[in-house]
Amino acid sequence: MTLEESDTNLPWASIIIVGLNIGGYVFPRVSTKLGNMLADPTTGIPMARVCVGPNALRNGRLYTLFTASFVHDDLQHIIYNVGWMIGYIVVLESLVGFWGLFVLYLISGMIGWCLSLFDTYYSYGEYGLDVTSCGASPCTYAMSVFLLATCPETSLGTITPMVGVILSLILTMYELKCATYKHKWRSPKQYSAIIHAAYAALCCVYYCRKTFLGEAVQVRVWVLLYLLSNTISYGINGGGGSDLCCHFGGAIGGVLLAIYYFRLDVVLSFPHGFTWVGTILYLLGLRFSTRISAIAFTILMLFSIEL
């Protein structure tokens, strides 16, 4: 299958996907009727009818394998995912086209949720039946790995990365406020917020410098700067309750779709192969290995692509 250039003036698929993510967070919270309709009638858990989980599939709600990718738990969750996604989703649509972006988003999300369900049931058995997950994370990891596996040196420009960084700054202020209110000083949550703030500030300086010099930000830089911050944050928070298996599954889905859209030799060539393999190892390390190994994988990636 060959790639197609987007034949529209506006990146409509990107706009729709980002809009659905924002709408999936805002509308159920603004409309009490919609919020009650999407909540579990037995347990009262918000958004349970559109979140994925063992009981959801047992009750025949197979559609949650797709709807869960547009739903987020809280403001921090959606800002983190959408802020990252905005940085590269338009470039990705220009490569795979309108429908290609939807296929990549939905299929990779489904693969991520399937692996998450397997891990939940394997780890908790019958006790994990009521566990639910949601978020665009498997899709964002998939899209990142897809770009790393196919065109890691593609230019993102400077506008969309700056928008993503501004959202990250908003997130860090919110994180720090919540951490200060709910936890004692020097808590892991506060350390995490400070790290995210430092990351966002450094990225702002970096992107401003790129803009001043008339240079563009490459995909590999945008993705790997995020992974570096993410690794340190996970190291402090010990995972922070994230569904790490869905992240790993989404990344696997991104690689499989990259092979489908491109040739296998392109995906395995250098530096394409090295960067996406490093990302997979990074995610695998977060779930199954030690924090040190996850940090080591990320550092390996950063040095290997000559940032």
Residue 216: both structure tokens together: 């563009």
Residue 303 has pLDDT above 80, yes or no: no
User: By percentage, how much of the chain surpasses pLDDT 90?
Assistant: 21
Q: DSSP of 160-198, one letter per residue?
A: HHHHHHHHHHHHHHHHHHHHHHHS-TT-HHHHHHHHHHH
* Global model pTM greater than 0.85: no
Tens digit of each residue's pLDDT (9 = 90 or more) over 32-47: 888 888 887 776 677 8
Residue 253: both structure tokens together: 């889905």
pLDDT of residue 3: 44
Tens digit of each residue's pLDDT (9 = 90 or more) over 129-160: 788 889 999 999 999 889 888 877 777 766 66
Closest to 120 in 3D by CA, of 111, 108, 133? 133
When comparing pLDDT for 61 and 289, which is higher? 61
Give the model's confidence band at 7: pLDDT under 50 very low, under 70 low, under 90 confident, else very high: very low
Mean pLDDT for 205-231 is: 72
Most trustworthy range by pLDDT among 149-153, 209-213, 267-271, 274-278: 149-153
Q: Name 59's Cβ contacts closer than 8 Å, sequence gap at least 6.
A: none
